[in-house]
DNA sequence: CACTTGACCTGTCCGC
DNA sequence: TGCGGACAGGTCAAGT
């Protein structure tokens, strides 16, 4: 599930817990999750820094290599110290991952004094080891659009990105990582409600004001979620195995049948761009493009 | 080129 | 209670 706010939250946690630690060994329980798990550079390598790009976790090691981790739908990176001490136990949003490894555990990094678990129920996620200087050359990294919370993401850059997707719906365009990086199904729905735009609106029908509202909505929704520690959805946990709180504040996602907090109309769930889509039929009017 | 669909997997939930 | 089918937060490779 993890989208930008969840991946950002995981990265912030790992930065505190991982940097300075050394990998002692790597155990693979599912080869396809990390085909290079027995690479000779790994034992003895230390974590230097943690970075996020789009929904990608980048763990920089010394020795000039990095581990790239994509959590896809159900991936988790959970840090557990050898003492068994549970970080943040008793946190209000609670709900810890209990005993690791469990049946979703695919890769175990044994560190000095701790373990890092890569869990992934649906096995879509992956880990890749590669030299630092090759990260930027990866095709899918090169194609990524701007980071929505960076200065590079402006109304103009959004309009430029959308120009390439004029023929499709605004929801499909927001999910396109080459338009902007890091939005997934939850935050697409949330941003479109915030901007008052119907998900099935054709990109070509948006005017400058619409794009301006959408730009602001994207930034606001993502910032609020990061502050809340990401969403509280089923498969997402942060580096300490805890859930976030964002869905407590969600306006439409998984709120079908409940009242819109802006106008009281019942939120509906439908299908747009092949994905479950939540919207308020009053605040997000379908746009009819008249022509004689 | 741009858009849509299917595939990758496991688990859960819902209706019969 | 069991079983089949739809669906789940992502993204690529195919297809049109």
**Cβ pair A25, A43 in contact under 8 A:** yes
Establish whether A190 is a catalytic residue. Answer: no
Q: What is the pLDDT of residue A85?
A: 59
Alpha helices in chain A (DSSP H): 4-18, 132-135, 139-143, 155-163, 170-175, 185-195, 208-227
Q: What is the pLDDT of residue A237?
A: 82
Q: What is the pLDDT of residue A288?
A: 57
d(CA A23, CA A25): 6
- Whether any strand B atom is under 7 angstroms from the Cβ of A123: the reply reads yes
Residue A1 has pLDDT above 80, yes or no: no
Establish whether A103 is a catalytic residue. Answer: no
- Whether any strand C atom is under 7 angstroms from the Cβ of A73: the reply reads yes
Beta sheet of A114-120, edge-to-edge order: A23-28, A105-111, A114-120, A75-81
Beta strands in chain A (DSSP E): 23-28, 47-53, 56-61, 65-70, 75-81, 105-111, 114-120, 126-131, 268-272, 275-279
Structure tokens at A58: 């980048």
* A240-268 tens-digit pLDDT: 888 887 777 899 999 999 999 999 999 99
Higher pLDDT, A48 or A250: A48
Q: Which nucleotides of C are covered by protein (CB under 7 A)?
A: 7-12
Comparing CA positions, the residue from A270, A253, A248, A148 lying closest to residue A193 is A253
**Cβ pair A75, A104 in contact under 8 A:** no
Place of tokens 């020795």: A63
- Whether any strand B atom is under 7 angstroms from the Cβ of A35: the reply reads no
Establish whether A110 is a catalytic residue. Answer: no
Residue A96 has pLDDT above 80, yes or no: no
Query: How many residues in chain A?
Result: 292
On whether the pTM is more than 0.85, the answer is yes
- Whether any strand B atom is under 7 angstroms from the Cβ of A122: the reply reads yes
* A177-235 tens-digit pLDDT: 999 999 999 999 999 999 999 999 999 999 999 999 999 999 999 999 999 888 877 67
- Separation between the CA of A225 and the C1’ of C11 (whole angstroms): 23
The single residue of A5, A6, A52, A55 carrying the catalytic annotation is A55
d(CA A255, CA A178): 29
- Whether any strand B atom is under 7 angstroms from the Cβ of A164: the reply reads yes
């Amino acid at each position: 599930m993890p989208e930008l706010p969840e991946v950002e939250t995981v990265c912030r946690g790992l930065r505190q817990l991982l940097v300075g630690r050394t990998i002692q060994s790597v155990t693979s329980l599912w080869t396809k999750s990390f085909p290079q798990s027995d690479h000779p550079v790994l034992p003895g390598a230390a974590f230097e820094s943690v970075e996020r790009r789009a929904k990608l976790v980048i763990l920089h090691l010394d020795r000039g290599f990095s581990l790239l981790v994509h959590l896809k739908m159900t991936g988790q990176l959970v840090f557990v110290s050898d003492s068994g001490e549970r970080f943040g136990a008793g946190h209000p949003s609670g709900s810890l991952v209990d005993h690791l490894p469990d049946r979703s555990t695919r890769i175990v990094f044994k560190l000095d004094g701790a373990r890092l678990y890569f869990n992934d129920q649906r096995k879509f996620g992956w880990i890749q080891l590669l030299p630092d200087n090759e990260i930027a050359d990866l095709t899918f990294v090169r194609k990524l659009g701007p980071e929505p919370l960076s200065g590079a993401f402006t109304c103009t850059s959004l309009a430029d990105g959308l120009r390439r997707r004029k023929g499709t719906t605004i929801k499909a365009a927001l999910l396109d990582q080459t338009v902007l990086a890091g939005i997934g199904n939850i935050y697409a729905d949330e941003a479109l409600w915030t901007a008052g735009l119907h998900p099935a609106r054709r990109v070509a029908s948006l005017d400058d004001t619409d794009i301006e509202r959408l730009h602001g909505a994207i930034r606001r929704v993502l910032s609020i979620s990061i502050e809340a520690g990401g969403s509280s959805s089923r498969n997402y946990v942060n580096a300490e195995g805890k859930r976030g709180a964002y869905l407590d504040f969600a306006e439409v996602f998984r709120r079908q049948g409940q009242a819109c907090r802006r106008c009281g109309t019942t939120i509906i769930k439908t299908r747009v761009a092949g994905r479950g889509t939540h919207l308020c039929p009053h605040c997000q009017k379908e746009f009819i493009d008249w022509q004689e």
